[in-house]
A and B are shown apart, each in its own frame.
Chain A
Amino acid sequence: EDQVTQSPEALRLQEGESSSLNCSYTVSGLRGLFWYRQDPGKGPEFLFTLYSAGEEKEKERLKATLTKKESFLHITAPKPEDSATYLCAVQAGSTDKLIFGTGTRLQVFP
């Protein structure tokens, strides 16, 4: 069964304190790994798609990387506005659906 696990469940950082979020997956035939950001009371907002091991993508203070078993979302010098829940999802096999992890709730304090 395809599975996505995110860690930690929650992360508290001081402004400027860099860290990483982890997404490990067990799937048959990965087609893509997705990162989303979700703010309270809103729907998930697309950040990145990674397709193959070794691929990296960056957006402002965020960088996503992918290996054959996991993905990391690195946050460099975070700001309070980076506080949100970050969701990882995979698309695998012949299906078009995304399977989501339960997310990491990030809080950045000034």
Chain B
Amino acid sequence: DAGVIQSPRHEVTEMGQEVTLRCKPISGHDYLFWYRQTMMRGLELLIYFNNNVPIDDSGMPEDRFSAKMPNASFSTLKIQPSEPRDSAVYFCASSERWGYTFGSGTRLTVV
């Protein structure tokens, strides 16, 4: 099992550009979570899905952020337009209900 796979590992973009982060969860896991990690605020939940359906998006900062899960094996997190304050490490995690498995994260830098 390759675990939770995220791409890209690093992304540097200019302010105002669109950014798309990708995640492939572990096969058979029916929960998928997107978290953001910063030094100041730690790990914050952005949104989570159950069986491809968004359940709680209350952590999505604003309308610039959107997430989709078109099927059980793929999810995207999009930021449009990006801003310097979006710079953080974005993690995807999947679960069968207990004990998440995290991906290695995408380090996003917006300049």
Tell me which residues across on chain B come within 8 A of A100, comparing CB atoms.
35, 42-44
Query: What does the 1/0 interface line of A36-47 toward B look like (CB < 8 Å)?
Result: 000001111110
- Per the CB 8 Å criterion, the residue count for chain A at the interface is 20
Tell me which residues across on chain B come within 8 A of A87, comparing CB atoms.
42-43
Tell me which residues across on chain B come within 8 A of A89, comparing CB atoms.
43
Say yes or no for B45: interface residue by CB 8 A criterion. yes
Within the complex, which residue of B43, B56, B101, B105 is in contact with A46, where a contact is CB–CB below 8 Å? Answer: B101
Q: How far is the CA of A99 from the CA of B44 in the complex (A)?
A: 8
Instruction: Tell me whether A97 and B91 are in contact in the complex, defined as CB-CB below 8 angstroms, given that A43-B105, A49-B99 are known contacts.
Output: no
Whether B48 and A43, one on each chain, are in contact in the complex, defined by CB atoms closer than 8 angstroms, is no
Tell me which residues across on chain B come within 8 A of A7, comparing CB atoms.
none
> Which range holds the interface residue count of chain B?
20 to 34
Say yes or no for B69: interface residue by CB 8 A criterion. no
Q: How far is the CA of A42 from the CA of B35 in the complex (A)?
A: 14
CB A45 to nearest CB in B, in angstroms, measures: 7
CB A90 to nearest CB in B, in angstroms, measures: 12
Tell me which residues across on chain A come within 8 A of B35, comparing CB atoms.
100
CB A100 to nearest CB in B, in angstroms, measures: 4
Residue of A whose beta carbon sits closest to that of B43: A100
Tell me which residues across on chain A come within 8 A of B111, comparing CB atoms.
none
Q: How far is the CA of A99 from the CA of B105 in the complex (A)?
A: 18
Tell me which residues across on chain B come within 8 A of A107, comparing CB atoms.
none
Q: How far is the CA of A103 from the CA of B42 in the complex (A)?
A: 8
